[in-house]
């Protein structure tokens, strides 16, 4: 197989970040700064171009209803909420009151607070308790890696045909594509990547954006 890809470096990555709509967004920049001040944990935040991609994707499918599993300090939720239709709603799931307190503040600053509902608690239990009739146009999964497949199986029946599910960290720091995956989280992601590629219920593609995005369209 002839390989075709461009490996990024710092110069090219800055270029990628600069050449997108909203690269001068003051609220998202302030949220990045505040999250970075938390220390190493800030690695959990999605990347800038990933956020722009998500806003575009949500808007492109005309999404009115979305769910996010793993909200942290709120960057991805703001990006999703901004792409929703004017009457759109985003349901955010996270276990941490501490991190999502920051998210709530930034939802207000970004003018999306009224579009978002937060449910605190373990994601699997929250997903199992969702109202029966709740259907989503778009889902973003970015919480416990070992639980991704369980989130998938709980969310997929609620996604409308042609709706999208996006999974973050599906390149797992670049450590996949080998048989020596020595952490449970890496093995779970590898297993799910392979499952999605064969799963007749969806069409999927693994995009090398940031730490890897699995983009799935429900058939
Ligand atoms: C990678 S961060 C999410 C980053 C976020 N999408 C952003 O753009 O900043 C993962 C989040 O998932 C939450 N989380 C991890 N395991 C969870 C679980 N089992 N149930 C609910 N939330 C969980 C953590 O509290 C954390 O805020």
Distance 1 CA to ligand 1 centre (A): 37
* The pLDDT value given to residue 56: 98
Atom 8 (ligand 1) nearest CA: 76
Measured between its terminal Cα atoms, the distance across the chain in Å is 29
Distance 73 CA to ligand 1 centre (A): 9
- Which ligand 1 atom lies nearest to the CA of residue 46? 8
Distance of CA 105 to the CA centre of its chain: 20
Q: What strand order describes the sheet that includes 89-94? A: 116-120, 89-94, 65-69, 136-141, 159-167, 213-218, 202-207
Segments in 144-183 forming alpha helices (H): 148-155
Give the residue ranges of the chain where pLDDT is below 50.
Answer: none
Atom 27 (ligand 1) nearest CA: 72
* The pLDDT value given to residue 43: 97
pTM, entire model: 0.98
- CA pair distance 79, 215, nearest whole angstrom: 16
Distance 99 CA to ligand 1 centre (A): 9
| CATH number (domain holding residue 183) | 3.40.50.150
Give bridge partners of residue 204 from the DSSP assignment: 216
Q: Is residue 1 part of a domain?
A: no
Q: Is residue 171 part of a domain?
A: yes
Q: Is residue 23 part of a domain?
A: yes
* The pLDDT value given to residue 102: 98
Burial string for 89-109 (b: 16+ CB within 10 Å, else e) reads: bbbbbbbeeebbebbbebbee
Distance 26 CA to ligand 1 centre (A): 24
Collect all residues with Cβ–Cβ distance below 8 Å to 74 and sequence separation of at least 6.
31, 100, 102, 103, 104, 106, 107
Q: Is residue 5 part of a domain?
A: no
Q: Is residue 65 part of a domain?
A: yes
- Residues within a 6 A CB radius of ligand 1: 44-46, 70-73, 75-76, 93-96, 99, 122-123, 142-144, 147
pLDDT per position as a tens digit, 200-210: 999 999 999 99
The H-or-E segment that residue 82 falls in is helix 75-83
The two structure tokens encoding residue 97: 């009151």
How many structural domains are present in the chain?
1
* The pLDDT value given to residue 179: 84
Range of the domain at 182: 10-218
- CA pair distance 57, 122, nearest whole angstrom: 27
Q: Is residue 4 part of a domain?
A: no
Atom 9 (ligand 1) nearest CA: 45
């Amino acid at each position: 197989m002839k390989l075709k890809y461009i490996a990024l470096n710092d110069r090219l990555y800055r270029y990628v970040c600069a050449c997108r709509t909203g690269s001068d967004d003051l609220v998202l920049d302030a949220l990045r700064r505040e999250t970075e001040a938390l220390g190493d944990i800030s690695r959990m935040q999605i990347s800038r171009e990933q956020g722009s991609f998500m806003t575009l994707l949500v808007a492109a499918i005309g999404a009115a209803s979305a769910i996010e599993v793993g909200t942290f300090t709120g960057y991805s939720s703001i990006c999703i909420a901004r792409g929703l239709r004017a009457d759109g709603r985003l349901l955010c799931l996270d276990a941490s009151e501490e991190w999502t307190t920051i998210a709530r503040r930034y939802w207000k600053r970004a003018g999306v607070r009224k579009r978002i509902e937060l449910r605190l608690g373990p994601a699997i239990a929250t997903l199992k308790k969702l109202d029966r009739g709740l259907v989503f146009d778009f889902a973003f999964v970015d919480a416990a890696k070992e639980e991704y497949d369980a989130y998938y199986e709980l969310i997929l029946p609620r996604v409308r045909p042609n709706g999208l599910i996006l999974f973050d960290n599906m390149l797992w720091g670049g450590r996949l594509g080998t048989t020596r995956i020595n952490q449970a989280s890496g093995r779970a992601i590898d297993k799910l990547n392979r499952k999605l590629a064969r799963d007749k219920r969806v069409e999927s593609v693994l995009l090398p954006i940031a730490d890897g995005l699995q983009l799935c369209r429900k058939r």
